[in-house]
Amino acid sequence: MKFLNGASMPDIIRNLKKPFVFLHKDIINESSYKFAFVTQLLGIFFSVVSLYFLSKLVGKAALPHIQPYGGDYLSFLLIGLALFGYIQVALNSFSNCIRNAQTLGTLEAMLVTQTSIPTIIFSSSLYSFAITSFRIIVYLLFGALAFGLNVRSANYMGAIIILFITIICCSSIGILSASFIMVLKKGDPLSWIFKSLSWLLSGVYYPVSILPDWLQKLSYFIPVTHSLEGMRMALLNGYPMRDLFSSILPLSVSTIILLPLSMFSFKYAVRIAKINGSLTQY
């Protein structure tokens, strides 16, 4: 049986295994830095504890801007931070992987194997996604136990769809910035701008409605705004699919534009690196 690009069934099964080969390698690699590995785990604990004190400060105070999200600020914040955790990984991990492989000198050695470049970059970012997922699960569990994050009536299916599209959308931007890194090695402007704007405008810490009018208009053009909005509506208000559509649509449109663009630009960046002979340079 032949599939896309003439790949056969065993080829596809092998490619499904490769992300785990990378994950295994990265776990061995990262856990060999014992001190950093432990502090990373401790870091999760500390940020959760600081959330706890924040919850003591804010408590159940009624904030008018939070009303559309069920009225509980901590739940609002927790969902925002959790999703933004994924967004950050999607934005950074691809260029970090490329940069790492360049400095280690392993990029060329991987590129000469029978594994395609998309598989390599996707697989090498899996570890970051796994660690982030672990962190976020701890956050959410803690939220549920310590200050009653209430997601019992949530639309989980909707939340998962939004998470999925968000990751693909932000990964596209992440891959675009990885293309810069591939050629320039250091100093990609894209993910920095996108991340800073998102922190400011998309409503991680506060709802967009608190921003001045013109900034609110601007925030509409940042896909992350729709992710956060949709995610909160799905988890905190349990909106049905039909009501999540207004968030999913702009998110999907930006993904449809960004994904092919990022794939194209990455291919082009590899080409330039092969012309410059700079795969092993950093």
Ligand X SMILES: Nc1ncnc2c1ncn2[C@@H]1O[C@H](COP(=O)(O)OP(=O)(O)OP(=O)(O)O)[C@@H](O)[C@H]1O
Residues that bind other proteins (CB under 8 A): 5, 11, 14, 17-18, 21, 25, 28-29, 32-33, 104-106, 108-116, 120, 271, 274-277, 279-280
DSSP H helix total and E strand total for the chain: 11, 0
Window contacting ligand X (CB under 6 A); options: 3-11, 12-20, 251-259, 274-282: 274-282
Window contacting ligand X (CB under 6 A); options: 55-63, 117-125, 148-156, 271-279: 271-279
Compute CA distances 27 → 38, 85, 97, whole Å.
13, 20, 14
Residue 47's binding partner out of other proteins, ligand X, none, with CB under 5 to 8 Å set by partner kind: none
Give me the half-sphere count of Cα atoms (radius 13 Å) on the Cβ side of residue 21: 11
Residue 40's binding partner out of other proteins, ligand X, none, with CB under 5 to 8 Å set by partner kind: none
CB of 7 or CB of 81, closer to other proteins: 7
Residue 28's binding partner out of other proteins, ligand X, none, with CB under 5 to 8 Å set by partner kind: other proteins
Query: Tokens 């999907």 appear where?
Result: 252
At 8, give phi and psi (nearest 5°): -95, 170
How far apart are CB 98 and ligand X at their closest, in Å? 17
Asked if 277 touches ligand X (CB under 6 A), the answer is yes
CA distance 189 to 208: 25
How far apart are CB 122 and other proteins at their closest, in Å? 13
CB of 67 or CB of 276, closer to other proteins: 276
CB of 12 or CB of 256, closer to other proteins: 12
Burial string for 50-69 (b: 16+ CB within 10 Å, else e) reads ebeeebeeeeeeeeeebeeb
Contacts of 252 (CB under 8 A, 6+ apart): 165
Which two structure tokens, joined as six digits, stand for 253? 């449109």
Asked if 212 touches ligand X (CB under 6 A), the answer is no
Contact between 277 and 188 under an 8 Å Cβ cutoff? The reply is no
CB of 217 or CB of 274, closer to other proteins: 274
CB of 12 or CB of 241, closer to other proteins: 12
Window contacting ligand X (CB under 6 A); options: 129-137, 243-251, 256-264, 272-280: 272-280
Residue 67's binding partner out of other proteins, ligand X, none, with CB under 5 to 8 Å set by partner kind: none
Residue 15: CB atoms within 10 Å: 16
Asked if 278 touches ligand X (CB under 6 A), the answer is yes
Which two structure tokens, joined as six digits, stand for 225? 């705004």
Nearest to 280 by CA among 110, 98, 96, 108: 108
How far apart are CB 94 and other proteins at their closest, in Å? 18
DSSP sequence for 61-109: ---GGGGGGTS-HHHHHHHHHHHHHHHHHHHHHHHHHHHHHHHHTHHHH
CB of 17 or CB of 65, closer to other proteins: 17
Binding site for ligand X (CB under 6 A): 276-278
